[in-house]
Amino acid sequence: MKKRVVVLGSTGSIGKQTLDVIRANPETLRVVGLASGSDVRTLAAQIAEFKPEAAYCVDGSVARHVGEGTRIFSGDDGITQLIWEVEADVTVVGTPGMVAARATMAALERGQDVALANKETLVMAGGLVMEAAAASGAAVLPTDSEHSAVWQCLHGENAAAIRRLILAASGGPFRTASDRELAAVTPAQALRHPTWSMGAKITVDSATLLNKGLEIIEAQWLFGLPLAKIDVVIHPQSIVHALVEFVDGAVKAQLSHPDMRLPIQHALSYPERLPTHWGGLDFARAPVLEFSEPDAVRFPCLALARQAAETGGTAPTVLCAADEVAVELFLEGSISFLDIPRLVGRALDAHTSTPVESLDHVLTVAAETRQWLMESALGFSVTPAEAGVQRGEEDGFRAPARGELSRE
C-alpha cells in the first residue's frame, strides 16, 4: 500500500526535496495533496506531474492551469479545508515561518501523522502540538536533520536512558569571522551557507545560530527532555547531525551527507528504510571531523533562545516572531547583521510571558510582537554601511550589551 502524502509548501526548498523523494519512490509513496503560497507556475507543473487529488494556492488561480482531476482550494482556510477533506497518511509541513501552525494542528487533530520540517510551530506551540498528537494518536515525525538524527539514534533505545542530546551546528558562514567582519555582513554573504542549501530565512538563522536555538526548543518538545539535557556542538563539516549520550556513557551519532532528502525520506518511510541513489560516506577519504563549543559572545542568539525556552509560555513565540521581523529587515538592508540579536533581545526583554492558552493566543502574541517591532525598529536601526563605519572603524568595535538597548 502506498503512503498517501500531502505536501505543504511544495514549491519551497523542503517541498521540492520531498517531491524528489516521492519521485524516487513511486512504489511506496504517492502525492495526494499539494499546497503553495503563490508560486503558481511551479505548483501547476507539480500538479501536472503528480496528479494529486487536491491542491491549494492563495487565490485559487492555479485552477486555470490544471485539469478536473485535482480539486483546488484557496483563501485563508483553504489549507485546513484541504487537510480535512483529503485522506492522507502523512502531511509534510515544509511551509516556512509561522503560517504552518494551523495546518499542523488540523492534520494532528484529524489523526494524520505530520512530518514537521517547520520549526516555528513546535517552538511557539509545542505543548499544543504534542497534546493534539497524543489525543488523536498521530505522530509528529522529526524532519529537521538534527532531530531526525536524534530520532534515528533512539530507535530501539529507552528514552529514560538518555543522559543528553547534542545537536550539531555547522556554525554558518561566519563561524570564524571577526567582530568587525560580523558588523559589516551583507545579506548576500549571510545567504551563502557553507554546507546546507536551504530557504532564505533559515539560512540567515543558521548564520546567527538562532536556528540552533530554535532547534533546542524543538528537541525539548519532540523528545520530552529538559533544557539542561540538550547541548549544541559546532561541527563545520555537517556530517554528524546529532549525537545521543546515554546514562552509561555510550554515545550514538547519526552521520550522512548534508542532504535534507534523507531526513525527509526517513520520516516518510519510517519504520522502513528505503534505498537512495546517492552514495554513503567514504571514511577512508573522510575529511577530519571537527567539534568545538559555540561562541556565545559572538553569537548571542543561542543564549537568547535558551532564555526564551527557560522562561517558557509565550516567550518562545516572541523569539520566533521577533526573529522573523529582524531577518526580514536585515534582508531588505534596513538593519545590520548584529542588529538581529539586538532586536530579538529587545523584544524578549519587553515581553511578559504568560502560559500558552491556544493557537489563537500564540498567533496573537506573534502578531503583536511583529507590529511592535516594526513600529519601534525604525528609530533603532542602523544600515550595514553605517555599521561598518561607526562600529568597526572609529574607536574599535564593541558589541552592545543587551542592557544598553534603549526602550520606548
List residues binding Mg ion (CB under 5 A): 144-146
- Asked if 103 contacts 114 with a C-beta cutoff of 8 angstroms, the reply is no
Q: How far is the CB of 119 from Mg ion (least distance, A)?
A: 8
**String of DSSP letters for 331-362:** HTTSS-TTHHHHHHHHHHHH--------HHHH
Cβ proximity to Mg ion, 136 vs 195, nearer residue: 195
Cβ proximity to Mg ion, 185 vs 242, nearer residue: 242
Q: How far is the CB of 309 from Mg ion (least distance, A)?
A: 16
Q: What is the rounded CA–CA span in Å between residue 128 and residue 105?
A: 8
CA atoms lying within 13 Å on the CB side of residue 368: 15
Q: How far is the CB of 287 from Mg ion (least distance, A)?
A: 21
Cβ proximity to Mg ion, 53 vs 144, nearer residue: 144
Q: What is the rounded CA–CA span in Å between residue 177 and residue 386?
A: 19
Cβ proximity to Mg ion, 213 vs 300, nearer residue: 213
* H-run or E-run covering 306: helix 301-311
N- to C-terminal Cα separation, the chain: 59
Cβ proximity to Mg ion, 91 vs 145, nearer residue: 145
Q: How far is the CB of 317 from Mg ion (least distance, A)?
A: 20
Using DSSP, how many helices (H) and how many strands (E) does the chain show? 16, 11
Q: How far is the CB of 154 from Mg ion (least distance, A)?
A: 17
Cβ proximity to Mg ion, 120 vs 144, nearer residue: 144
Q: What is the rounded CA–CA span in Å between residue 320 and residue 308?
A: 10
Q: How far is the CB of 202 from Mg ion (least distance, A)?
A: 8
All three cell numbers of 102: 494551523
Q: What is the rounded CA–CA span in Å between residue 247 and residue 232?
A: 18
The residue number whose beta carbon is nearest to Mg ion equals 144
Total residues belonging to the chain = 408
Q: How far is the CB of 17 from Mg ion (least distance, A)?
A: 13
Q: What is the rounded CA–CA span in Å between residue 337 and residue 207?
A: 9
Cβ proximity to Mg ion, 144 vs 323, nearer residue: 144
